Amino acid sequence: ITAVTETHIHADFASGSRELAARTGAKLYLSDEGDASWKYAFAAEAGAVLVRDGDSFWVGNAKIEVLHTPGHTPEHLCFMLTDTRASHRPMGIFTGDFVFVGDVGRPDLLEKAAKVVGSAASGARTLFRSLQRFKALPDYLQIWPGHGAGSACGKGIGAVPQTSLGYERLANWAFAYDDEDAFVSAVLAGQPEPPKYFAQMKRINKEGPPIMGGFRRPPRRPGGQLLVRLAQGATVIDTRPFAAFAAGHVPGTLSIPLDYSFATWAGWLISYDAPFFLLAADDAPRVVDQAVRELAKIGLDQVAGYAGGDALAAWTVAGRELEIIPQITPEDLAALARTERVALIDVRGESEWLEAHMPAARHIALGYLVDRLDEIPRDRPVVVYCRSGARSSIAAGLLQAKGFKDVRNLVGGIARWQAAGHAVERAA
């Protein structure tokens, strides 16, 4: 490895560019575009080469040409690759978060995540102009984007890993716009809510992620010791599957199952300002290793220790009961609502809520639940739901950890509610 680069200051993960360059001795190339507030603060310390539009560098026989493509962020670059042994014409372009398969990078992250007021609209206009320049490139160019389906850096990214400029010209909605105002309205509409940790990632990646020097497993703590730290106010994340958590957990622990969305919800719900602990049951070291690696991707590296199933045993040996989360079916919820007042909380995203929601529900997206606890009554049963029951499971555990006594999770979410023939409401 002789060269390392990245297209922009990322918001969705802690960049490994600095560490990779440091470990391998490779030259680090970073953007020198954008205004002063979005320059890489660690560039000089890391010995990075700063590049701008029109610059180029070589990796063996491969020529890398730099294109400034602002819009998603002010400093964003694309890198056009030419294999000079085969042709003098470029082969393809690494587009980062500028052009995806079927979509383009969202221009509103600086405003929504970093609170740069007014940057969404101006970024959208800049993105439009970058696209007009991009359209002038030849159709045969392969496009290697930075994200695929599921990323919060776009609103409709395709699942295939690469594409071509010619295909995107035909199939990508953003390429159909020739009117700037119409494009601005379209690109800003329907963007998903960015996770809270995006703001932290912008800061960390701008200042320079710390060089880790390799993987380190946090120390294993005796179960009783972990419970003492929990009683002292420490955050303890239970990584077990939700079914196990719901069947019995230590009161005050927070459920974030170690699955494909673990890092996303950890970034929403765990503070970056204090150490925290992990709890795992079966095969604890392996599970913790995976969790620590996932957390490191978003800069959450303050894991102070972990415990296995002995933490649950220590709780029950002391004569205390594990807490459970009752599951309620749509039929039982409908019956309960006929006889009691129920606080119904929809923890899905804004666009999902607008599409369809349960009557009398209050919308509080999971990521903002901890900030809006005072909106939820404590004098009645609280039923939480999402699309399928996964996000609401995390929400139910969070509410219990915050002292709500009667919390229930809707089995199968609104999908099962609708399938059972119950009514929903839609935005006007």
Q: What is the CATH number of the domain that holds 170?
A: 3.60.15.10
**One domain, residues 200 and 147:** yes
Q: Which of 1-10, 96-105, 188-197, 378-387 has the lowest average pLDDT? A: 188-197
Question: Residue 428: its pLDDT value, please?
Answer: 65
Among the three residues 207, 236, 261, which one is the final residue of a domain in this structure? 207
Whole-number pLDDT of residue 314: 94
Residue 183 is predicted with a pLDDT of: 98
96-114 mean pLDDT: 94
* 201/215 Cα distance (integer angstroms): 20
Boundary residue ending a domain (317, 336, 363): 317
- Residue 122, pLDDT > 70, answer yes
Q: Please indicate, yes or no, whether residues 345 and 374 belong to a single structural domain of this protein.
A: yes
Which pLDDT does position 219 carry in this prediction? 96
Averaged pLDDT for residues 190-195: 87
- Do 157 and 99 touch, CB atoms closer than 8 A? no
Per cent of the chain over pLDDT 70 is 100
- Which of 394, 338, 336, 335 shows the shortest CA–CA distance to 365? 394
- Do 233 and 362 lie in one domain? The reply is no
212 domain residue, yes or no: no
On whether both 264 and 182 belong to a single domain, the answer is no
Last residue of a domain, one of 207, 235, 266: 207
- pLDDT tens digits, one per residue of 299-314: 999 999 999 999 999 9
Mean pLDDT estimate for the chain: 96
Which is catalytic among the residues 80, 269, 281, 386? Answer: 386
Label the pairing between strands 103-104 and 49-51. Answer: unpaired
Return the pLDDT at 114.
Answer: 77
What average pLDDT does the segment 326-331 reach? 97
List the CATH number of the domain containing 333.
Answer: 3.40.250.10
Same domain, 365 and 287: no
Mark whether 264 and 393 lie in a shared domain. Answer: no
Which residues form the domain of 354? 327-419
The residue among 191 and 376 whose pLDDT is bigger is 376
CA 288 to chain centre: 20
Give how many domains the chain has, as a whole number. 3
The 3 state secondary structure assigned to the chain is CCEEECCCCCCCCCCCHHHHHHHHCCEEEEECCCCHHHCCCCCCCCCCEEECCCCEEEECCEEEEEEECCCCCCCCEEEEEEECCCCCCCCEEEEECCEECCEECCCCHHHHCCCCCCHHHHHHHHHHHHHHHHCCCCCCCEEEECCCCCCCCCCCCCCCCCEEHHHHHHHCHHHHCCCHHHHHHHHHCCCCCCCCHHHHHHHHHHHCCCCCCCCCCCCECCHHHHHHHHHCCCEEEECCCHHHHHHCECCCCEECCCCCCHHHHHHHHCCCCCCEEEECCCCHHHHHHHHHHHHHCCCCCCEEEEECCHHHHHHHHCCCCCECCCEECHHHHHHHHHHCCCEEEECCCHHHHHHCECCCCEECCHHHHHHCHHHCCCCCCEEEECCCCHHHHHHHHHHHHCCCCCEEEECCHHHHHHHCCCCCECCC
Is 179 found in the same domain as 105?
A: yes
The reply to whether 22 falls in a domain is yes
Q: What pLDDT digit, counting tens, does each position of 358-369 carry? A: 999 999 999 999
Q: Are residues 118 and 267 both part of a single domain? A: no
Instruction: Verify whether residue 153 is a known catalytic residue.
Output: no
Q: Per the structure block, which two tokens stand in for 171? A: 């199939």
Within 10 A of 335 (CB to CB), how many other CB atoms are there?
12
- At 115, is the pLDDT very low, low, confident or very high (cuts 50, 70, 90)? confident
In a domain, 405, yes or no: yes
- Look at residues 109, 152, 111, 104 and name the one whose alpha carbon lies nearest to residue 128: 104
Residue range 176-202: mean pLDDT, rounded: 93
Q: Which residue has the higher pLDDT, 96 or 260?
A: 96
* Per-residue pLDDT tens digits for 34-74: 988 889 999 999 999 999 999 999 999 999 999 999 999 99
175 lies in the same domain as 303: no
Whether 215 is covered by a domain: the verdict is no
* Pairing of β 254-255 and β 142-145: unpaired
Residue 424 lies in a domain: no
Closest CA to 238 of 229, 351, 367, 248: 248
Q: Are 51 and 174 part of one and the same domain? A: yes
**Looking at the structure, do residues 271 and 367 belong to the same domain, yes or no?**
no
Query: Residue 398 has what pLDDT?
Result: 98
Which amino acid, residue 130?
Answer: S
Tell me what pLDDT residue 17 has: 97
Q: Looking up tokens 């000089």, which residue turns up?
A: 44
pLDDT digits (tens, 9 = 90+) for 148-165: 988 888 899 999 999 999
List the single range of 114-123, 204-213, 340-349 with lowest mean pLDDT. 114-123
pLDDT at 151: 87
d(CA 399, CA 163): 44
For residue range 243-296, list pLDDT tens digits in order: 999 999 999 999 999 999 999 999 999 999 999 999 998 888 999 999 999 999
Residues belonging to the chain: 428
Residue 308: what pLDDT?
A: 95
Residue 138 domain-assigned?
Answer: yes
Q: Is residue 363 part of a domain?
A: yes
Regarding whether 289 and 363 lie in a shared domain, the answer is no
Asked whether residue 249 is assigned to any structural domain, the reply reads: yes
Which residues sit opposite 67 in a β-bridge?
A: 78
